Chains A and B, each alone.
Chain A
């Protein structure tokens, strides 16, 4: 079983990202479950969402405490201890930032992607609210290899309510441009 935790802020699409990832894995014949930690938060407040992927039916319905991967949609939430909670050195740490992976330390398998620039280039959202969740799916696919590039892009296209092509392209861009810290 592979467990992924998404951290973002309300309105950034962390919950949708967890669903897109589940769909991508489902398309490859795997069992999936995705769920938010649903708070009473409003737009802008920190948000957590979860995805589990397995070859067998998934019964475990707790939150994810020892993630195999953590996807950070907004580097502003990095300061919170919850973000890296339960991670091991084998865990993937995929962060939306223009910084290099090594700048975030070498505790995990860290990957960085400038999803904000990708989103703006593809005209997804605006400067204050770029839509970066679809790019993060591309970055996740490349970093972990848990889902293929094709499944990720297909799932992005399917679950994007608008600008399906642009979102799919954003995922592809991120797949190409994500920087994998452990390869350096």
Chain B
């Protein structure tokens, strides 16, 4: 059997690399104010937003309840705060990361 050579190739998806430990401030969405404009999702450099169609998420009204909602995957969110800064409804709050234990 020929032993194949080792080439410097990276194959493993970075999704196996969690970056939650980078976070100092944690964004939290107040869903009852969220109009589902998805601007937070659009501007997230970390791809930490998932698009949820779950109906259990609180919503300001019936129209928005039918729309997809942004859900933060805290495994990846580094807490940069762009989402909170860009949110037109100001419904994302940057809170002090509570799980942090030093």
Establish whether A and B are touching in the complex (CB under 8 Å).
no
